Amino acid sequence: MSLPFLNDFLSPYGLNVSEKKAEAFNRYMALLLVWSERMNLTAIREPRQIVIKHFFDSLTPALSPHFSPRGRLLDVGTGAGFPGVPLKIMFPSLELVLLDATKKRLMFLEAVIDALHLHDVELVHARAEDLAYDVRYREQFDQVTARAVASLPLLLEYTIPFVRIGGRAFLLKGPSVQTEFGDGQKIVSVLGAAFLSEERMFLPEEKAERRILWFSKQKMTPKRFPRKGLTKKGSSS
């Protein structure tokens, strides 16, 4: 089911979903619907909407020249696996780490990884503000992403410490991010990064606007970041 939908949406951008990848997306969708009956993974139940609002939305960073289809990628606050799992399906050479603080979500993702036979995927049960002080993860990733889990300044604190020097962070946000941009700009240089670009995308059919913010890591993040006890506010989707 997802093959014609995704190909219709992605082919204008030069991406194609093979039969094998389409089957993986179909299995992912089936698991998402089954598990959502038992736990809060997504409120979206209609398959076409799942393709648009979860799969296509997760793949929008791959439409950017800043995105790399290989290397080590960390998805912070991955939830049901967005955007990390769709990116892994499309680009199997990615080494993916999925980070979430909720054990049940990671149980779901373990089932997805097994069913889709995904390789080079690691699940980590922790909070970003704690894991960022683990030398095995701090400044060890080529790319780090997060999908609208908090305000922009907080997302930057949660992601930039994991990015290696020369690597990138890309944050998926809604149009309301403009109201957060001033505070984000203030902290990005303190974290050792620089703003690279902002790209606007529109989801197919409903034309909902998405913003992808790209940051490049220039120097090591000071050891005091991320700070503990920060609140998650200003989330947009």
In a domain, 201, yes or no: yes
Burial 44-73 (b: 16+ CB within 10 A, else e): beeeeebbbbbbbbbbbbbbeeebbeeebb
Annotated binding site: 77, 82, 100-102, 128-129, 147
Structural domain range at position 198? 66-217
Express each pLDDT in 84-143 by its tens digit: 999 999 999 999 999 999 999 999 999 999 999 999 999 999 999 999 999 999 999 999
Q: Are strands 141-147 and 71-76 parallel, antiparallel or unpaired?
A: parallel
> Would you tell me how many other CB atoms lie within 10 Å of the CB of residue 194?
13
Which of the two residues, 143 and 8, has the higher pLDDT score?
143
In a domain, 90, yes or no: yes
Least confident among 105-119, 178-192, 195-209? 178-192
CA distances, 140 to each of 20, 22, 49, 164 (Å)? 31, 31, 35, 5
Sheet with 71-76: strands ordered across: 121-125, 94-100, 71-76, 141-147, 163-173, 209-217, 193-202
In a domain, 102, yes or no: yes
Annotated binding site for S-adenosyl-L-methionine: 77, 82, 100-102, 128-129, 147
Which of the two residues, 207 and 155, has the higher pLDDT score?
155
What type of residue is 66? H
In a domain, 8, yes or no: no
Q: What is the mean pLDDT of residues 5-31?
A: 92
3 state SS of 122: strand
Residue 209 is part of a domain; what is its CATH number? 3.40.50.150
In a domain, 52, yes or no: no
Task: Give me the phi and psi of 109, to 5 degrees please.
Answer: -65, -35
**Mean pLDDT estimate for the chain:** 92
Question: Is pLDDT of 28 > 80?
Answer: yes
Which of the two residues, 134 and 228, has the higher pLDDT score?
134
In a domain, 51, yes or no: no
What type of residue is 229? G
Total domains present in the chain: 1
Question: Is pLDDT of 55 > 90?
Answer: yes
Q: How confident is the model at residue 177 (pLDDT cuts 50, 70, 90)?
A: confident
In a domain, 79, yes or no: yes
In a domain, 14, yes or no: no
pTM of the predicted protein model: 0.94
